[in-house]
Structure 1
Amino acid sequence: MSFLRSVAGIILVAKPLTSIGTAQTQRNIKRWVAPTLRELRHRAKKQGPQKPESRSGYVEWNYRSELFAFGKRLQESFQLPVLQAAFTQPSYVHQERERQRKLGIEEVDLQATDNTELAAKGAHIAKAYVEAYLQHSLPKMPSAGQQAIAAYLLSDNTLAYVALHLGTKELIFSAEYPPTTETLAQTLQAVIGALSDSSGVERAFIFVRDFVCTQLNQKDLLDLWKPSEPIKLLTEVCQQRNLGDVEPRLLGDCGKNTVLAAYHVGIYANRQLLGKGFGEDVNTATETAALDALQTLFDMHDNRQPFNFQLQVEPKNVRLA
């Protein structure tokens, strides 16, 4: 379709419409124009949609300038050779070596470094900072919940989402295009490692806070971590905190023995109401009430104090090679 647009543009340039009336222009268009455009459109439709092409295939592409602009957009100082290595996937290095061998080059001299080491370093930095940030931001939540939220922040889908919106898609050297989710996630980890080598590990920590930890903004924590046995967990927490025995009570019901039955259950401990919940039966309402009580005890409700994304946390025991 882009070829059709270029052909149509050439035709319109040859016959400018600004100085000629509409009726006169229609008379001046040659008879072969319409059949040619129809044939080109038919061929393009028969060939199918065009494969996406990388931005590096354009004539005016300047990769070094794009790397420099990438760092300036993020207001970070990168060493350009290190940043270029962060965007180089192992598949690209292997592809270039195979291409040189096919061209008959016996001794392949390809001075290219992939991002394997940088990605490993960046993954270690991101994991250390995210865990420390969650421990400071959610101190009442047990380690199982913190680990579940950390797993969400460090998952390939989350890291790929961040990498894509930072503009890394067109800068990645990879054997496939567009890059996969795993490639985008590994690239972001490598960028974190490159920032650590270029500006220090503290700047890498701030980068993780600003772009990875902020993915918790306006998230329902119960969607990220939902205990499989809320009543059992609530009982253990109440015993650990000396809150008393858990006692569910039926507060109300309506529509018994109907499809629209609803039960209202409250959970008490030492005569204190911990949580309330609704459900189509008593068991479901009790579990919902237990989840509500856990949200209160772990400070996970929607009306909790928002995350502080200006918090500066110093992870402990961070060892970098």
Structure 2
Amino acid sequence: MNLLRRSLSKSLLITPIKSVGVTEPRSIKRWVAPTLRELRKRAKKIDLQNQPNPRSGFVEWNYRAELYAFTKRLNENIDISLLQTAFTQKSYIHKEANRQRDLGIEETDIQINDNLKLSEHGENIAKAYISTYLQYSLPKVPEEGRNAILKYLTSIETLAYIALHLGMKDLLLDTEYPPTSEALSRSLLAVIGALQESSGSERSFLFVRDFICTHLNQRDLLEIWHIQDAWNLLKDTCKLQNIPNPEPRLIGDCGKNTVLATYNVGIYANKKMIGKGFGEDASTAIEIAAIDSLRNLFSINEHARLFDFELLIEPKQKLN
């Protein structure tokens, strides 16, 4: 028994005690780097295999049938040859010419036109109609605001989004797949130009109204039109509408001299409140209240019914 006790006491004295707060050095195992290299190699191989393939690469692809189906989906009568021109990019024609040269054909004769002229024509139609539509729907909004909304509706991003969801991605004749936003937007404008040449101006105007102007539905217009100096614009607007000069007044505040301070400011004109806003300081609250006042003066607040998407109008600008 005494021998057992002595052996236990010696083992306790020999066992080192680790100091508190000291950690073992970090080490990376030898198998980690080769494994990561192999995983990256396999991921690259999967990405190469999963590259998007154009629909035209399938055996049963019939391009003219797809163009005909496209017109029927839109319920429009567009000449098939014009529609094919609307989807043809300039880079595709260059690619076909180079392919014929590689085959030994010296004098290339490609009976295909690109969509540059049609897109310019369609752009004139779209801008002319949208300008007239905005002028009719937003009579109180100044020209600066209408121009900002027009720029948004005719931007590359908006037009490319519309073209993509109309199913134009697989119909484009382009060297790149998926096509770029510029190619999609240009083709959409070219389709508008082809529609005008095939079915007349009225059908092209209805196309612009139904597919482009409807992007303003339930949108906050001041998210599209960014007002830089709301207070000075408010004073100019009041002067144009024969309203006395606006005056900011403090309605309420709380948490002064703290990081959670809040100020509630109202804008008054002719003894009536035309707008109000909150802010962390007085100047911010005045700016927000001025924006709210502009919403009310321009009749573009959240309760207003701004756009009639069954409206039939013709642009004042003459089309070339």
Q: TM-score range by the shorter chain?
A: 0.7 to 0.9
Matched, 1:178 2:175: no
SS in 1 for 2:170: helix
Deviation at 1:242, TM superposition (A): 1.5
What does the per-residue CA deviation read over 1:269-321, in whole Å, with 9 as the maximum and x for residues that have no partner? Answer: 1211110000000000000000000000001111111421000111012222x
What amino acid does structure 2 have at the position aligned with 1:124?
N
TM-score normalised by length of structure 2: 0.85
Number of residue pairs matched?
A: 280
Aligned to 2:260: 260
Deviation at 1:227, TM superposition (A): 1.1
What amino acid does structure 2 have at the position aligned with 1:238?
C
CA distance in 2, matches of 1:99, 1:144: 49
Structure 1 segments, 4+ long, off by >6 Å, are none
TM-score normalised by length of structure 1: 0.85
Aligned to 2:227: 227
What does the per-residue CA deviation read over 1:30-84, in whole Å, with 9 as the maximum and x for residues that have no partner? Answer: xxxxxxxxxxxx9975523132110000000000100000000000001000000
Matched, 1:74 2:65: no
CA distance in 1, matches of 2:65, 2:271: 67
CA distance in 2, matches of 1:103, 1:288: 67
Matched, 1:289 2:289: yes
Equivalent residues in 2 for 1:1-321 (5 A)?
45=43, 47-49=45-47, 50-320=50-320
Distance 1:174 1:252, change over 3 A: same
SS in 2 for 1:77: coil
CA distance in 2, matches of 1:185, 1:46: 32
Indicate if the aligned counterparts of 2:300 and 2:306 stay in contact, CA closer than 8 A: no
Indicate if the aligned counterparts of 1:260 and 1:280 stay in contact, CA closer than 8 A: yes
CA distance in 2, matches of 1:157, 1:45: 31
Indicate if the aligned counterparts of 2:137 and 2:306 stay in contact, CA closer than 8 A: no
CA distance in 2, matches of 1:43, 1:317: 59
What amino acid does structure 1 have at the position aligned with 2:121?
K
Unaligned runs of 5+ in 1: 1-41
Indicate if the aligned counterparts of 2:138 and 2:306 stay in contact, CA closer than 8 A: no
Rg larger in 1 or in 2? 2
What does the per-residue CA deviation read over 1:194-249, in whole Å, with 9 as the maximum and x for residues that have no partner? Answer: 10111011100000000000011111111011210000000111112111011100
What does the per-residue CA deviation read over 1:126-183, in whole Å, with 9 as the maximum and x for residues that have no partner? Answer: 0000111000111110000000011110000100010000000000000111000111
Deviation at 1:111, TM superposition (A): 0.6
What amino acid does structure 2 have at the position aligned with 1:221?
L
SS in 2 for 1:301: coil
What amino acid does structure 2 have at the position aligned with 1:185?
S
What amino acid does structure 1 have at the position aligned with 2:66?
E
| RMSD (Å) for aligned C-alpha atoms | 1.5
What amino acid does structure 2 have at the position aligned with 1:60?
E
What does the per-residue CA deviation read over 1:5-51, in whole Å, with 9 as the maximum and x for residues that have no partner? Answer: xxxxxxxxxxxxxxxxxxxxxxxxxxxxxxxxxxxxx9975523132
Indicate if the aligned counterparts of 1:125 and 1:318 stay in contact, CA closer than 8 A: no
CA distance in 2, matches of 1:57, 1:236: 60
Distance 1:45 1:239, change over 3 A: closer
CA distance in 1, matches of 2:281, 2:44: 58
Indicate if the aligned counterparts of 2:97 and 2:108 stay in contact, CA closer than 8 A: yes
SS in 1 for 2:252: strand
CA distance in 2, matches of 1:195, 1:240: 41
Identity %: 55
Indicate if the aligned counterparts of 2:264 and 2:285 stay in contact, CA closer than 8 A: yes
Distance 1:46 1:209, change over 3 A: closer
Indicate if the aligned counterparts of 1:267 and 1:293 stay in contact, CA closer than 8 A: yes
